[in-house]
Structure 1
Amino acid sequence: MRAAVRAGLLDEDAPLAAFIDLRGIEETAAALREAWPKHLDVRHAFAAKANCLVPVLRTLRGHGFGCEVASAGELAQALAAGFTPRELVFDSPAKSRAEIEAALAAGIALNADNFQELERIDAFMARAEAGTHSDIGVRINPQTGLGGIEAMSTSGEHSKFGVPLRDAGSRARIVDAYARRPWLRWIHVHAGSQGMASKVIGASVAAVAGLALEINQACDERRVVGIDIGGGLTVDFEGERAPGFAGHAQAILAAAPQLARGEFRIVTEFGRSVMAKNGFMASRVEYTKVAGGRNVAITHLGAHVATRTAFAPESWPLRVLAYDAHGMPSRERVTTQDIAGPCCFAGDLVARAYPLPRLRQGDIAVIPDTGAYYFSTPFRYNSLPMPAVYGFEVVSGEVRFTLLRRAESIADVVAETLGQVTAQGRSEAA
């Protein structure tokens, strides 16, 4: 923070900025690789929705990640970051016919969400003389239960994702679908993300691994060769504990011994657990006041860059750190404060009644653990511009910053609503 202030990255003209720990990404990537036994064939595909900034995706690729995409936009960003088709997995639940055909023609791995999508793939395969080099699977909803945040749980009885495994007649229909399609060689499961216990995720993977063995037996061959097990490792937003990749992997392999024995190739799709701890946002305190006896700090940290926390604070609590105007940890007396944002609605708070060294006008409020799903995917409320994003690393005791996304100007905001944003304006940081 001190280096950022000295470099002029946080001042009255730029009161909000985001930062990404480039060395932290490298260390996280190494921890994820080391969590899985060396004898297993495991590919880690970063979930692009967690942080879709092209320079970030490019950095992750440099550390050995593939990329999982859930829309045509994320696919285009991943390709711009340098990922090859063989390094990509396409998982959208609402793929158009054109998106399916483009992915299969390029050789991008694809997981079909439902039987109607399989029929679209059938049509492509019937027309394509050379077929496809894509790894194709079906997403299964094992219906093993919900986690602590229902909106993040995708293995409930009524989930919108995948083919339900336990509905009447569904299991037999899945097995038949694989028996009739020799090109179906993969199977996919993703039980959910934040709030999901490793035990529930392990049970979901075990259920699909058992299904894969049943399919292979019915086909009298090793039809399913790989299982895409998704992501789902919960992040500790209220403390500094790093994601426990090793324990998560152990829980999955204990629940699904077929994977531990190397009977299937494995793809993972971690996102939040890779990037959350490697990013933070910082804002100058614009004003302070007292309301109802409680201190309130008005900052530029609001729903536009912390959407989930503002609208669902119980599910998405964030820590707040206090720094003085020079970027040094505040030495003020701790008091209870609301940390409010700039958006024009009463619920625009990133922390309520939060114990923190008293913030004063011109001080800096920091919210850690926001490298995923926060500043990288802003909410277009009140037409507030997107902040600059800087990568940083410490070299020989000196903090060095790299611009990853330029700050959006008011002119950019107006141009977008006029439909006049240029390709150059959107790709400048890349």
Structure 2
Amino acid sequence: MESAHEHEGLRRIDAHRRDRVVRAAAAAGLVGERHVAAGFLDVDGVRRTVADLHAAFGQDVPVLHTFAVKAAALVPVLRLVADAGMGCEVASPGELALARAAGVPADRIVLDSPAKTDAELAEALGLGVAVNADNLQELDRTAALLAVRRSASVLGLRVNPQVGAGTIGAMSTASEHSKFGVPLRDPGARERVLDALDRYPWLTRLHVHVGSQGCWPDLIAAGVRATWELAEEVNRRAGRRQVTSVDLGGGLPVNFDDDEVRPTHAEYAAHLRAAVPGLFGGDYSLVTEFGRSVVAKHGFTAARVEYTKEVGGRRIALTHAGAHLATRTVFMPDAWPLRVGVHHPDGTPRRGPEEVQDVAGPCCFAGDLVARGRALPRIEPGDLVVLHDTGGYYTSAPWAYNSIARPAVHGFTTAGGQVRFATVRTEQTLAEIAAEAGGAHADTLTSLARGGPGGER
């Protein structure tokens, strides 16, 4: 349903189709008075974007495209992207467990984390999961484990090319003082990296990830080029092809301003080929770790408007879309703005004159606003507000503040001409909230205060 020429890839999200899905969701009771908020993910759009990603890099070099699990840490989503041809990039034991639950083969999983324990490393090596060490101490730990067991894992080292930060400091991982990777420009650091590669011939991969939202293709390409140059130096020094693969990371930014998809994966791949042509000469296999750019624009969040009020001459809509669903947007609105659509209770879009309004969430603090001073059609109680472009990080990373229930997430397709939904995650129940908050241990502290047993030790 998304309009785009086949050879150009997906260039614009179909707003009319999205409105149609909102109407269908309201009619099905997936969002409204009973279910006050829900996330939605476009199955057709995700599959199309994964196909575009594969096409963008072509077939002249082998590429393993992995999906950054953190972007949508939901097992059905991981199964979907795996079925479309992606592996998984994981950054914790929990994310590894999700990838395995989705049936992703170990040799298509890459483990990245700056604080891997011995147990995590041993598990990954035992499974044959690829591991990118974050630092030289981790290399030494890995060597100790390899001394007593063999592993099929591809082993790499993450480097920080220190090419600078993007427009969002918290998302920039190749800055001068980034916590990630081994710095290449600090005094003596490059030589230490080269010595480590000499010492550990099983290190066959270099990994770089410049950052995420706010890091544009030229900055990403600069980091990749520095890493490729290091790989070439390692191989010249070794007199053989020791480094045989380069993990490029991910981080392609997403346009949150409108429905246009930019930059595309094809544009990024072309930029990379121009900046680092030697990377595509056949000497290296490649790995990518895209997340947000695969799913963000293929998701939206819908929430019910409970009340409206006038305060200080401005209308405020009190809704069920707030910091518990859009944490980054509430706390960093300039860095993470979201477009807001207004729909009647039946899901049809509201039209008519716009007025300046705030869209507030249900959390118990004054700053819980997903939109401030936004020109929108007049919002009424019972309406639905729709947060656009929330397919990445929003539906799968709710905040437990105020113990507000995690909403359901639904996938949808319009294949065959009808809107069909499938459950990705069920809505959290109040019983589950109580259990997660230690309900099974309700008496332990009072017992401990009275001199009794304190439970687990």
Aligned positions of 1:30-429 closer than 5 A = 30-128=51-149, 131-243=150-262, 244-418=264-438
Q: In the TM superposition, what whole-angstrom CA distance separates every residue of 1:55-105 from its partner, at most 9, and x where no partner exists? A: 111111000000000000000010000011101000011000110011011
Counterpart of 2:424, as a letter, is L
Taking the aligned partners of 2:277 and 2:231, their CA distance within structure 1 comes to 13
Counterpart of 2:415, as a letter, is V
Q: In the TM superposition, what whole-angstrom CA distance separates every residue of 1:203-259 from its partner, at most 9, and x where no partner exists? A: 100000000000001111000000000001110111111141111111122111111
Taking the aligned partners of 1:323 and 1:12, their CA distance within structure 2 comes to 14
Asked if the contact 1:202/1:253 (under 8 Å) is kept, the reply is no
Asked if the contact 1:258/1:264 (under 8 Å) is kept, the reply is no
Taking the aligned partners of 2:280 and 2:128, their CA distance within structure 1 comes to 28
Asked if the contact 2:32/2:303 (under 8 Å) is kept, the reply is no
Taking the aligned partners of 2:33 and 2:346, their CA distance within structure 1 comes to 13
Q: CA deviation at 1:420?
A: 5.1
Question: What is the DSSP-based 3-state SS (H/G/I as helix, E as strand, rest coil) of the residue aligned with 2:414?
Answer: strand
Q: CA deviation at 1:151?
A: 0.3
Asked if the contact 1:137/1:187 (under 8 Å) is kept, the reply is yes
Taking the aligned partners of 1:256 and 1:415, their CA distance within structure 2 comes to 52
Cα pair distance change 1:70/1:420, threshold 3 Å:
farther
Q: CA deviation at 1:419?
A: 5.8
Segment of structure 1 superposing worse, 2-11 or 83-92: 2-11
Asked if the contact 2:359/2:369 (under 8 Å) is kept, the reply is yes
Taking the aligned partners of 2:434 and 2:174, their CA distance within structure 1 comes to 41
Taking the aligned partners of 2:32 and 2:265, their CA distance within structure 1 comes to 38
Q: CA deviation at 1:302?
A: 0.5
Question: What is the DSSP-based 3-state SS (H/G/I as helix, E as strand, rest coil) of the residue aligned with 1:161?
Answer: coil
Aligned residues: 419
Counterpart in 1 of 2:38? 17
Counterpart of 1:235, as a letter, is V
- C-alpha RMSD of matched pairs (Å): 1.1
Question: What is the DSSP-based 3-state SS (H/G/I as helix, E as strand, rest coil) of the residue aligned with 2:34?
Answer: coil
Counterpart in 1 of 2:453? none
Taking the aligned partners of 2:200 and 2:408, their CA distance within structure 1 comes to 48
Taking the aligned partners of 1:11 and 1:305, their CA distance within structure 2 comes to 16
Taking the aligned partners of 1:83 and 1:260, their CA distance within structure 2 comes to 27
Taking the aligned partners of 2:285 and 2:435, their CA distance within structure 1 comes to 47
Question: What is the DSSP-based 3-state SS (H/G/I as helix, E as strand, rest coil) of the residue aligned with 1:221?
Answer: coil
TM-score scaled by structure 2?
Answer: 0.90
Q: CA deviation at 1:173?
A: 1.1
TM-score scaled by structure 1?
Answer: 0.96
Asked if the contact 1:254/1:260 (under 8 Å) is kept, the reply is no
Counterpart in 1 of 2:50? 29
Counterpart in 2 of 1:424? none
Asked if the contact 1:141/1:162 (under 8 Å) is kept, the reply is yes
- Structure 1 unaligned segments of length 5 or more: list them: 422-430
Counterpart in 1 of 2:452? none
Taking the aligned partners of 1:138 and 1:5, their CA distance within structure 2 comes to 49
Taking the aligned partners of 1:314 and 1:225, their CA distance within structure 2 comes to 41
Asked if the contact 2:64/2:108 (under 8 Å) is kept, the reply is no
Taking the aligned partners of 1:412 and 1:10, their CA distance within structure 2 comes to 20
Counterpart in 2 of 1:427? none
Taking the aligned partners of 2:56 and 2:252, their CA distance within structure 1 comes to 13
Asked if the contact 1:280/1:366 (under 8 Å) is kept, the reply is yes
Q: CA deviation at 1:332?
A: 3.4
- Structure 2 unaligned segments of length 5 or more: list them: 1-21, 442-457
